[in-house]
Structure 1
Amino acid sequence: MTLALPPTEAARELVEPVLREAVGRLDPHSARVARYHFGWTDGDGRPRAAGGKALRPTLVVLSARAAGADVERCLPAAAAVELVHAFSLLHDDVMDDDPVRRHRPAAWTVFGRAQAILCGNALLVLAGELLLEQGTSGYVAAARTLDQATLSLIAGQALDLEFQDRDDVTREECLLMSRHKTASLLACACSIGVTAVEGPVPLAAGLAAFGTEAGLAFQLADDLLGIWGKPEVTGKPVLSDLRTRKKSLPVVAALTGRTQAGDRLAELLARPGPLTEADLHDAARLVEQAGGRTWAESEAERRLDAAARCLADADLPADVRTEFLHIAQFIASRDH
């Protein structure tokens, strides 16, 4: 079947019924948290219009189309990837004490930390079940692919937590963390559709390479928004990453650039106690003066170019290649 534009809305319409059916299998407490987290209900369980970019399901659908398959065959894989993404966000918000997710209270602030953690665990198990119950060799391989991506994601989160207690994090380490935490699941989304429909292995590998580079561009854009994004657009407080002293890519680039501004930034971030609003604005200015913003913007462009080269070498329909490229450009230049 052919998707109507825009592709993210089309993918959401295709995948959401599969997601809702899967969530309906959970125990009532976990299902309630999941429905809230996905944006289907409010805190009292009342239905609401769902949002979200449906980025990962869209990439899975494009992956199946790249292999020339009917996209209906990949919908369980698309739903499974989104379930793992939801698991990671639920746990991430708890670990980082982030009170806001998608312009409204994060699930843990509504239902409690324990319920959010349990719901995340349930979604992770549900993702594997959704793949394995399809009963084909393609879906068994897809389950392995998603398992590997999930383990990589968890390794990245562990590194992210470790960095909070270190003042010697390098750019290479920060890029490795981002490759694990963010790029691994995007690479999986870009390739798992091919795997699930038993498409060519070289095509899956090429799309995974594209997803890795696009995923790094995504994280660089996200880190830039974490400092310079507008709260009314991002749904997060102004200068949110600096407020938590997060070792994001622009910050680490600034701290390791051997500049006077970088040294002053290190001194500021090392101060005990919460940073004042004036401190936060000074920190953002120092990150920029030390070259962190320019480096992150240039690195994002470099990763986008690398992603495009991966697609150029892949054997896939021209319209699908164009849609992959459009999504890569979107995620690297988005404002939220």
Structure 2
Amino acid sequence: MTALHAPPAAPEVLARCTALVRPALREAVDRLHPWTAEMAAYSFGWCEVGGTPTTTPGGKGVRQALAVLGARAAGADARTAIPAAVAVELVHTFSLLHDDIMDGDATRRRRPAVWKAYGTGPAVLAGDALFALAVETLATVPQGARAVRLLSTALTDLVRGQADDLLFTGRPHTGPDRVTTEEYRAMAEAKTGALLGCACALGAALGGADEDTTNALDRVGRHLGIAFQLVDDVLGIWGDPTVTGKPAGGDLREGKKTYPVLAALTSPAARALPDLLNSPERTQEAAALIEAAGGRTAALTEARTHTATARTLLTRTPLATPAVEDLLTVLDYLVGRDL
């Protein structure tokens, strides 16, 4: 199988966008209560528990970069997207704080998750504070009503997707109540794609784009989100823990209904897979059988399909060419990461 490869320019594009947004993001976090501000700073990798400054690597800044590129794609100055970029980054971090609690994930980016470092209650509070701050950030811009509507729609979808993801865990691997790949795609679009689409659309909206343009960019982000989640699923089973920061086979031990699992279960070659999935100590055998039954290939093929759809949307929508090139570079990088 041929892996997708990241173009070398993508990290520079992300770094340039996040450098533009970082001062405003820090300024927003500083407006919080000192305790929630410290937890937020910890989650961004800016400090240790207790507030001692650090340079721990944070996330890639994907959503804030998409907001900046959305504004540039609409022909506007990148700085017009800063409130959108701050808002989507705050919402993304809020969702991670709560997701780690719901999933019982003790680590995030090779450090204790906020709920492990500060406690469950404080982590919930910090997430709530970030959510409120995101809404406040958008409400104060001239296009505030439109911006808040876009964000609230994405948040509604995000919650729906997270609810489905949690419910999937309790459903059987086989039979009429099994999770289908179609249900999975809908969940991934809502849980991951909605905020990526919102980032692109919000940046464009603050840059003065019309409804057709913002809708097209929203669809680009949603397809990217599905592809992004599919790649996450592959890395969750076969990824290198030293690269991903997650234990090998963690998704299998947690019983997650990821796309490679769902696709493999449709193959006659995977008759023994349900028993392996119900035995957490046999994750290596399960991973090997999922791959042999075509689950890994199916997930990457599906990711490429959504990537191609996103590319087509970008090239067919009247947008500023340099920004489209940067968006295409970031898209390919995110779908090809670490495979």
Interval containing the TM-score (normalised by the shorter chain) = over 0.9
What amino acid is the match of 2:249?
Answer: L
Matched, 1:169 2:179: yes
1:198 deviates by 2.2
What amino acid is the match of 1:240?
Answer: G
Aligned 8 A contact 1:142 1:195 in 2: yes
Gaps of 5+ in 1: none
Gaps of 5+ in 2: 1-9, 173-177
Q: Which residue does the alignment assign to 1:123?
A: 130
1:270 deviates by 2.9
What amino acid is the match of 1:316?
Answer: L
Superposition pairs for residues 200-279 of structure 1, below 5 Å? 200-255=210-265, 257-261=266-270, 263-271=271-279, 275-276=280-281, 279=282
Q: Which residue does the alignment assign to 2:336?
A: 333
Matched, 1:296 2:299: yes
Superposition pairs for residues 103-182 of structure 1, below 5 Å? 103-134=110-141, 136=142, 138-167=143-172, 168-182=178-192
| SS of residue in 2 equivalent to 1:44 | coil
Aligned 8 A contact 1:141 1:196 in 2: no
| SS of residue in 2 equivalent to 1:335 | coil
1:139 deviates by 2.8
Matched, 1:76 2:83: yes
Matched, 1:44 2:54: no
TM-superposition CA deviations, 1:237-270 (whole Å, max 9, x none): 1111112111111111112x14232x21112223
TM-superposition CA deviations, 1:96-122 (whole Å, max 9, x none): 011111121111110011111111111
Q: Which residue does the alignment assign to 1:306?
A: 309
What amino acid is the match of 2:187?
Answer: M
1:143 deviates by 1.1
What is the root-mean-square deviation of aligned Cα atoms in Å?
1.4
TM-superposition CA deviations, 1:272-305 (whole Å, max 9, x none): xxx22xx010010111122111100111111111
Higher relative contact order (CA 8 A, sep 6+): 2
Output the TM-score relative to the length of structure 1: 0.93
TM-superposition CA deviations, 1:23-43 (whole Å, max 9, x none): 111112211111100100012
1:191 to 171, 186, 201: 201
Matched, 1:101 2:104: no
Output the TM-score relative to the length of structure 2: 0.93
Structure 1 outlier segments of 4+, above 6 Å: none
Query: Percent of counterpart pairs with the same letter?
Result: 45
Matched positions, count:
324
